[in-house]
Amino acid sequence: MNMRINIAFRAFLTLVLSVGLLSCNNSRDYDNSSRATGWDINSDEGGFQYNTDYKEQEAGPGLVFVEGGTFTMGQVQDDVMHDWNNTPTQQHVQSFYMDETEVTNMMYMEYLDWLKNVFPPTQENFRNIYNGAVPDTLVWRNRLGYNETMVNNYLRHPAYGNYPVVGVSWIQAVEFSKWRTDRVNELLLEEGGYTKEGARLTDVQAGTTFNTDTYLNAPSKAYGGNTEISQGGDESQDMIENQNTDAEGNALGGQTYVQRKDGILLPEYRLPTEAEWEYAASSLVGIRDYNVYRGRKKYPWDGQYTRSGDVKKQGDQLANFKQSDGDYGGIAGWSDDGADITAEVKSYEPNDFGLYDMAGNVAEWVADVYRPIVDDEFNDFNYYRGNVYTKNAINEDGSVKVVGVEEIEFDTLATGRLVARSYPGDIAQIPVTEEDTYMRTNYTDSDQRNFRDGDKSSSRYYRSYQEAEDESQRMYNSPTYNVAGAQDSTGVAKRGYDSADRTTLISDEVRVYKGGSWRDRAYWLDPAQRRYFPQDMATDYIGFRNAMSRVGSKSLDDNKKARN
């Protein structure tokens, strides 16, 4: 009797579980309807339109995927230089994309060519746009060395086309990154049929340039309001449903524009943060050994030496660096590293992420403002020091203010050089105000570069110098140069040296650069090493590469499928 009851009970449980699994497997498919309201999405009759077919972010030109994770940021080897500026901390970075090589002379020359064509330097009001972007080729000069060949040829001669660009300041690298973002997204719109074919080459002038933020926030003002360019044709109507108004509520007259929710435009190209760069250079993804993960991996490659242990390449140098005094490449032949100055990109094997020259060749700018410590007590996720929050400038009628041809503003650098703050077609930016930060707990000011490091809320507060009758206080008593905003009658910046006694070179205008270069010893090849340099100056051994944030999932679809 009991046996029959048990059998019946088990049969009942099996039935219940089967019904439950069946109901789970037959759960409603919400791809074309809303979980919130049940209404149809992307209906032909109108209503809410959304890209439900979006798969994942595509890698932009030149970029490779770097899957994020946790790592030990900082130096775990002996600190023989006694800098004490890279104490090990545990950090986590989100997935992102990074240039597989440094930005080359050819890539930068494309930027200069575009500027020359769109903003001819022969016109007085555009002259400083081009001149402010040209790298400083005089960085190659040495008072006791003959380097005029590089001064005259390194940037422009095709023999150096695939060599990393140098002589570029941090500010110039940032401006290149902005330009690259707009050119990549401009091509995506053209290839999708949303803008006029070929307009980027034939129709764009100083007053009709494309800017990604302007297109997304005020599409009717893109390309200077030229609808012949910004309208791609009838085929685009079938791809994206007509938008009746733009972000400001302006009527679009039945025109079709891509919005952020369509997932077509890429995030911005930018300089990588210090944490991203160090994580990517360490390339721990290829090694799952616990000891290596904790920091025993000294270089971007596996091993403790700079020469290859591979049987076929045994003894070959794995990076381009200075081997000793007067030895920039080794004895010609077997032990030579293949370069005396910089080397052509991809001359050495990539690391496990597929990134080339993350050690040696040229050191690289990163986004961060330099401080001797990484404040992991406040943040250990996507660490970055350098945030300056801005917002779109708004006209009296409530529309965004787009920079016109006659409204170009320039920043005067400490070197006296003028650099364009924005181009025509960009949305003018202004600092966020106290009204914008009211009742916020995550930030209170526009400029956060010196947060917890010398501001009034910091326990470390120094009274270090006095200017005129106004006593000012700051953490670092660094040099100031009397050039910003000061010009003579011809418009040339007046240059002046700081005559006050200073105690440090550290300020909010110095940026971190990472990695060793062709001028550095092997010690600096360690990804944990960090140094700083003024953001408006350049050298013959610092270049840069771009990064791009990943939106959506942490892993690529292929990785997720492999785990499942």
Most confident of 35-39, 124-128, 283-287, 515-519: 515-519
How far is the C-alpha of 197 from the C-alpha of 204, rounded, in Å? 12
Residues constituting the chain: 564
Higher pLDDT, 420 or 459: 420
Kind plus residue range of the DSSP H or E element containing 312: none
pLDDT of residue 562: 47
Asked if pLDDT for residue 154 goes beyond 80, the answer is yes
* Residue 151's pLDDT band (cuts 50, 70, 90): very high
Written as one string, the DSSP assignment of 379-411 is --BS-----B-EEE-B-TTS-B-BPPGGG--EE
Evaluate whether residue 38 is within a structural domain. Answer: no
What are the tens digits of pLDDT across the range 345-358?
999 999 999 999 99
The stretch 307-326 carries a mean pLDDT of: 77
pLDDT of residue 328: 87
pLDDT of residue 138: 96
What are the tens digits of pLDDT across the range 226-260?
887 877 654 444 444 444 444 444 434 445 788 89
Asked if pLDDT for residue 288 goes beyond 80, the answer is no
Evaluate whether residue 131 is within a structural domain. Answer: yes
The stretch 196-211 carries a mean pLDDT of: 89
Range of the domain at 228: 63-238+254-465+512-549
What are the tens digits of pLDDT across the range 369-379?
999 989 999 99
**Under 8 Å between Cβ of 513 and 364:** yes
Higher pLDDT, 419 or 538: 538
pLDDT of residue 220: 85
CA torsion 521→527→530→532, rounded to 10°? 80
Evaluate whether residue 382 is within a structural domain. Answer: yes
How far is the C-alpha of 279 from the C-alpha of 429, rounded, in Å? 32
pLDDT of residue 16: 52
**Under 8 Å between Cβ of 238 and 222:** no
| CA nearest neighbour of 186 among 215, 161, 207 | 215
pLDDT of residue 530: 94
Name the least confident of 225-229, 340-344, 380-384: 225-229
The SS3 call for residue 363 is strand
* Residue 286's pLDDT band (cuts 50, 70, 90): low
How far is the C-alpha of 286 from the C-alpha of 278, rounded, in Å? 15
Name the least confident of 194-208, 405-419, 430-444, 475-489: 475-489
Structure tokens at 367: 């986004």
How far is the C-alpha of 170 from the C-alpha of 179, rounded, in Å? 15
The stretch 536-542 carries a mean pLDDT of: 96
Asked if pLDDT for residue 26 goes beyond 80, the answer is no
Evaluate whether residue 563 is within a structural domain. Answer: no
How far is the C-alpha of 126 from the C-alpha of 354, rounded, in Å? 40
Name the least confident of 207-211, 223-227, 443-447: 223-227
- How much is the CA Rg of the chain, to the nearest whole Å? 28
Asked if pLDDT for residue 115 goes beyond 80, the answer is yes
Structure tokens at 431: 């600092």
Most confident of 27-31, 77-81, 130-134, 453-457: 130-134
| CA nearest neighbour of 434 among 421, 449, 447, 451 | 447
Single pTM value for the model: 0.87
Asked if pLDDT for residue 141 goes beyond 90, the answer is yes
Evaluate whether residue 399 is within a structural domain. Answer: yes
How far is the C-alpha of 177 from the C-alpha of 422, rounded, in Å? 13
390: which strand partners?
Answer: 431
Asked if pLDDT for residue 549 goes beyond 70, the answer is yes
CB atoms < 10 A from the CB of 363, how many?
A: 27
How far is the C-alpha of 380 from the C-alpha of 47, rounded, in Å? 42
Residue 97 belongs to domain with CATH number: 3.90.1580.10
Asked if pLDDT for residue 453 goes beyond 90, the answer is no
Question: What is the number of structural domains in the chain?
Answer: 1
- In 212-238, which positions are buried (b, 16+ CB within 10 angstroms) versus exposed (e)? bbbbbbbbbbbbbebeebbbbeeebee
Written as one string, the DSSP assignment of 245-269 is B-TT--B-TT-----GGGT-SPPPP
**Under 8 Å between Cβ of 527 and 127:** no
Structure tokens at 150: 């590089």
* Residue 531's pLDDT band (cuts 50, 70, 90): very high
Evaluate whether residue 410 is within a structural domain. Answer: yes
Please state, for a pLDDT cut of 70, what percent of the chain lies above it: 79
pLDDT of residue 334: 63
pLDDT of residue 105: 98
* Residue 464's pLDDT band (cuts 50, 70, 90): very low
List % helix, strand, coil for the chain (3-state, nearest 5): 25, 15, 60
**Under 8 Å between Cβ of 220 and 250:** yes
pLDDT of residue 527: 93
* Residue 132's pLDDT band (cuts 50, 70, 90): very high
The stretch 404-421 carries a mean pLDDT of: 85
Kind plus residue range of the DSSP H or E element containing 17: helix 2-25
- What is the average pLDDT score of the chain? 82
The stretch 315-326 carries a mean pLDDT of: 83
pLDDT of residue 293: 47
Query: Roughly how many angstroms between the first and final C-alpha of the chain, as a whole number?
Result: 45
Evaluate whether residue 148 is within a structural domain. Answer: yes
Evaluate whether residue 94 is within a structural domain. Answer: yes
CA torsion 47→267→174→363, rounded to 10°? 170
